Protein backbone atom coordinates (compact mmCIF):
# COMPACT_ATOMS: atom_id res chain seq x y z
CA UNK A 1 0.00 0.00 0.00
CA UNK A 2 1.82 2.98 -1.26
CA UNK A 3 0.59 6.39 -0.16
CA UNK A 4 0.60 9.15 -2.75
CA UNK A 5 2.01 11.89 -0.56
CA UNK A 6 2.73 15.38 -1.85
CA UNK A 7 6.01 16.90 -0.81
CA UNK A 8 6.95 20.54 -0.61
CA UNK A 9 8.37 21.76 -3.91
CA UNK A 10 10.98 24.39 -4.55
CA UNK A 11 9.35 27.88 -4.76
CA UNK A 12 6.38 27.01 -2.58
CA UNK A 13 5.88 29.13 0.52
CA UNK A 14 3.48 28.59 3.37
CA UNK A 15 1.04 31.35 4.32
CA UNK A 16 3.20 33.01 6.98
CA UNK A 17 6.32 32.89 4.77
CA UNK A 18 4.41 34.34 1.79
CA UNK A 19 2.86 37.09 3.97
CA UNK A 20 6.28 37.96 5.42
CA UNK A 21 7.85 38.13 1.95
CA UNK A 22 5.04 40.51 0.84
CA UNK A 23 5.34 42.63 3.99
CA UNK A 24 1.74 42.04 5.10
CA UNK A 25 0.10 40.10 7.93
CA UNK A 26 -1.23 36.55 7.41
CA UNK A 27 -4.76 37.89 8.04
CA UNK A 28 -4.37 40.43 5.23
CA UNK A 29 -3.06 37.67 2.97
CA UNK A 30 -6.17 35.60 3.78
CA UNK A 31 -8.36 38.48 2.56
CA UNK A 32 -6.71 38.29 -0.86
CA UNK A 33 -8.31 34.86 -1.32
CA UNK A 34 -5.36 33.33 -3.14
CA UNK A 35 -5.89 29.65 -3.90
CA UNK A 36 -3.12 27.42 -2.50
CA UNK A 37 -1.17 25.29 -4.95
CA UNK A 38 -1.16 22.39 -2.52
CA UNK A 39 -1.89 21.34 1.05
CA UNK A 40 0.29 19.09 3.10
CA UNK A 41 -1.45 18.26 6.34
CA UNK A 42 -2.82 21.47 7.80
CA UNK A 43 -0.31 23.64 5.97
CA UNK A 44 -1.19 25.40 2.68
CA UNK A 45 1.50 26.33 0.15
CA UNK A 46 1.43 29.17 -2.36
CA UNK A 47 3.49 30.11 -5.41
CA UNK A 48 4.57 33.69 -6.07
CA UNK A 49 3.22 33.33 -9.62
CA UNK A 50 -0.31 32.65 -8.27
CA UNK A 51 -0.15 35.59 -5.85
CA UNK A 52 1.00 37.96 -8.60
CA UNK A 53 -1.80 36.73 -10.91
CA UNK A 54 -4.34 37.23 -8.11
CA UNK A 55 -3.19 40.83 -7.60
CA UNK A 56 -3.28 41.55 -11.36
CA UNK A 57 -6.82 40.15 -11.62
CA UNK A 58 -7.90 42.20 -8.60
CA UNK A 59 -6.44 45.39 -10.07
CA UNK A 60 -8.15 44.70 -13.40
CA UNK A 61 -11.51 44.26 -11.64
CA UNK A 62 -11.03 47.59 -9.89
CA UNK A 63 -10.20 49.33 -13.17
CA UNK A 64 -13.20 47.86 -15.01
CA UNK A 65 -16.07 47.84 -12.51
CA UNK A 66 -19.18 46.12 -13.79
CA UNK A 67 -22.77 46.70 -12.82
CA UNK A 68 -25.03 43.97 -11.51
CA UNK A 69 -26.01 42.86 -15.03
CA UNK A 70 -22.50 43.02 -16.49
CA UNK A 71 -22.82 46.53 -17.90
CA UNK A 72 -20.44 49.29 -16.97
CA UNK A 73 -22.00 51.74 -14.49
CA UNK A 74 -23.07 55.12 -15.77
CA UNK A 75 -20.29 57.65 -15.11
CA UNK A 76 -22.88 60.41 -14.77
CA UNK A 77 -25.00 58.58 -12.20
CA UNK A 78 -24.20 61.06 -9.42
CA UNK A 79 -25.09 64.01 -11.67
CA UNK A 80 -28.34 62.36 -12.76
CA UNK A 81 -29.22 61.55 -9.16
CA UNK A 82 -28.58 65.15 -8.17
CA UNK A 83 -30.79 66.36 -11.06
CA UNK A 84 -33.62 64.03 -9.98
CA UNK A 85 -33.34 65.23 -6.38
CA UNK A 86 -33.50 68.82 -7.58
CA UNK A 87 -36.56 68.04 -9.71
CA UNK A 88 -38.25 66.33 -6.76
CA UNK A 89 -37.45 69.20 -4.41
CA UNK A 90 -38.81 71.71 -6.93
CA UNK A 91 -42.02 69.70 -7.33
CA UNK A 92 -42.43 69.43 -3.56
CA UNK A 93 -41.92 73.18 -3.14
CA UNK A 94 -44.48 73.88 -5.87
CA UNK A 95 -47.01 71.53 -4.25
CA UNK A 96 -46.48 73.17 -0.87
CA UNK A 97 -46.97 76.64 -2.39
CA UNK A 98 -50.26 75.48 -3.89
CA UNK A 99 -51.41 74.02 -0.57
CA UNK A 100 -50.57 77.32 1.11
CA UNK A 101 -52.57 79.24 -1.49
CA UNK A 102 -55.54 76.90 -1.00
CA UNK A 103 -55.41 77.33 2.77
CA UNK A 104 -55.12 81.13 2.32
CA UNK A 105 -58.22 80.92 0.10
CA UNK A 106 -56.36 82.41 -2.86
CA UNK A 107 -56.56 79.24 -4.96
CA UNK A 108 -59.47 76.86 -5.52
CA UNK A 109 -58.89 73.31 -6.78
CA UNK A 110 -60.68 72.53 -10.05
CA UNK A 111 -62.59 69.50 -8.68
CA UNK A 112 -64.04 71.65 -5.87
CA UNK A 113 -64.94 74.47 -8.26
CA UNK A 114 -66.66 72.00 -10.59
CA UNK A 115 -68.59 70.45 -7.69
CA UNK A 116 -69.63 73.82 -6.26
CA UNK A 117 -70.74 75.32 -9.59
CA UNK A 118 -72.67 72.17 -10.55
CA UNK A 119 -74.46 72.27 -7.20
CA UNK A 120 -75.32 75.97 -7.64
CA UNK A 121 -76.60 75.26 -11.17
CA UNK A 122 -78.82 72.46 -9.80
CA UNK A 123 -80.26 74.85 -7.20
CA UNK A 124 -80.94 77.46 -9.89
CA UNK A 125 -82.67 74.79 -12.02
CA UNK A 126 -84.85 73.74 -9.08
CA UNK A 127 -85.85 77.35 -8.41
CA UNK A 128 -86.64 77.97 -12.09
CA UNK A 129 -88.99 74.98 -12.04
CA UNK A 130 -91.26 76.70 -9.51
CA UNK A 131 -91.34 80.16 -11.14
CA UNK A 132 -94.25 79.38 -13.51
CA UNK A 133 -96.53 78.11 -10.77
CA UNK A 134 -95.60 80.95 -8.42
CA UNK A 135 -96.43 83.56 -11.08
CA UNK A 136 -99.76 81.90 -11.95
CA UNK A 137 -100.75 81.79 -8.25
CA UNK A 138 -99.86 85.42 -7.62
CA UNK A 139 -101.42 86.63 -10.84
CA UNK A 140 -104.44 84.40 -11.60
CA UNK A 141 -105.72 86.84 -14.23
CA UNK A 142 -102.60 86.42 -16.45
CA UNK A 143 -103.26 85.23 -19.98
CA UNK A 144 -102.51 81.47 -20.31
CA UNK A 145 -100.55 82.12 -23.55
CA UNK A 146 -98.19 84.49 -21.74
CA UNK A 147 -97.79 82.00 -18.88
CA UNK A 148 -97.08 79.17 -21.35
CA UNK A 149 -94.46 81.29 -23.17
CA UNK A 150 -92.90 82.19 -19.82
CA UNK A 151 -92.77 78.51 -18.78
CA UNK A 152 -91.15 77.57 -22.14
CA UNK A 153 -88.38 80.13 -21.64
CA UNK A 154 -87.92 79.04 -18.01
CA UNK A 155 -87.63 75.39 -19.17
CA UNK A 156 -84.89 76.40 -21.61
CA UNK A 157 -83.04 78.28 -18.85
CA UNK A 158 -83.49 75.29 -16.50
CA UNK A 159 -81.95 72.96 -19.11
CA UNK A 160 -78.98 75.32 -19.51
CA UNK A 161 -78.49 75.32 -15.73
CA UNK A 162 -78.78 71.51 -15.58
CA UNK A 163 -76.14 71.04 -18.30
CA UNK A 164 -73.77 73.59 -16.78
CA UNK A 165 -72.01 71.01 -14.59
CA UNK A 166 -71.25 68.82 -17.62
CA UNK A 167 -69.87 71.77 -19.59
CA UNK A 168 -67.43 72.95 -16.88
CA UNK A 169 -64.42 70.97 -18.21
CA UNK A 170 -64.95 72.46 -21.68
CA UNK A 171 -65.24 75.95 -20.20
CA UNK A 172 -62.02 75.40 -18.22
CA UNK A 173 -60.19 74.23 -21.36
CA UNK A 174 -61.43 77.30 -23.23
CA UNK A 175 -60.24 79.56 -20.42
CA UNK A 176 -56.80 77.92 -20.33
CA UNK A 177 -56.53 78.33 -24.11
CA UNK A 178 -57.09 82.09 -23.71
CA UNK A 179 -54.27 82.22 -21.14
CA UNK A 180 -51.80 80.66 -23.58
CA UNK A 181 -52.31 83.47 -26.09
Element (H, E) at 39: strand 38-40
Would you give per-residue pLDDT tens digits along the chain (181 residues)?
445 567 888 889 999 999 999 999 999 999 999 999 999 888 999 999 999 999 999 888 887 755 556 566 777 888 999 999 999 999 999 999 999 998 888 888 888 888 888 888 888 888 888 888 888 899 889 898 988 998 899 889 888 888 887 888 888 888 888 877 6
CB atoms within 10 A of CB 19: 20
Which pLDDT score is estimated for 31?
92
Element of type H or E holding 73: none
Give the C-alpha separation, 44 to 51, whole Å: 13
Q: At what angle do helices 48-63 and 15-22 cross, to 10 degrees?
A: 60
pLDDT in tens, 13-39: 999 999 999 999 999 999 999 999 999
Give domain limits for the chain.
Answer: 12-63, 103-180
In angstroms, the Cα distances linking 153 to 11, 132, 140, 162, 179 are 112, 10, 19, 14, 34
Q: What is the DSSP letter of 9?
A: P
Amino acid sequence: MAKNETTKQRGWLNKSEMAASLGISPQAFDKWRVDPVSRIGREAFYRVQDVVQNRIDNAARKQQPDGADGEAPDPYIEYKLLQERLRLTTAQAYAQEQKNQVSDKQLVPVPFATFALARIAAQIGAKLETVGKTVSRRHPDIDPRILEALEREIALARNVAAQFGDKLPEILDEYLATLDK
